[in-house]
């Protein structure tokens, strides 16, 4: 899981993180912020009228987005990201 807290903060890191946040849709931003403060996927799903599995998938997409935009790293794995 991508955890931005494990990196040493720098001005450029925060700038890239803020830019990546601004690129998220309103729903994805809500999902990310609620996930970061510890809300359950079930709770988030109820608030947005989604299934828990849909929220889980979107969290993975958001984590991929942050890895790509903030760290510049692309991790290959079994997760397939569909472009909407």
pLDDT category at 13 given cuts 50, 70, 90 is: confident
| Pair of tokens at residue 77 | 């794995």
pTM across the whole model: 0.71
Domain count, the chain: 1
Q: Is residue 67 part of a domain?
A: yes
Question: Is a pLDDT exceeding 80 seen at residue 17?
Answer: yes
Q: Rounded to whole angstroms, how far apart are CA atoms 28 and 51?
A: 14
Chain segment 37-81, per-residue pLDDT in tens:
999 999 999 999 999 999 999 999 999 998 888 877 665 554 555
DSSP one-letter string for 35-73: HHTT--HHHHHHHHT--HHHHHHHHHHHHHHHIIIII--
Residue 54 lies in a domain: yes
**What is the domain range of residue 59?**
27-72
* 39 within domain boundaries: yes
H or E stretch at 28: helix 26-36
């Amino acid at each position: 899981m991508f955890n931005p807290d494990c990196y040493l903060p720098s001005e450029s890191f925060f700038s890239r993180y803020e830019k990546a946040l601004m690129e998220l849709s309103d729903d994805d931003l809500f999902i990310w912020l609620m996930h970061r403060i510890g809300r359950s996927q079930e709770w988030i799903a109820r608030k947005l009228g989604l299934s828990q599995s849909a929220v889980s998938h979107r969290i993975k997409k958001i984590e991929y987005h942050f890895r790509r935009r903030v760290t510049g790293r692309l991790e290959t794995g079994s997760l397939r990201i569909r472009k909407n």
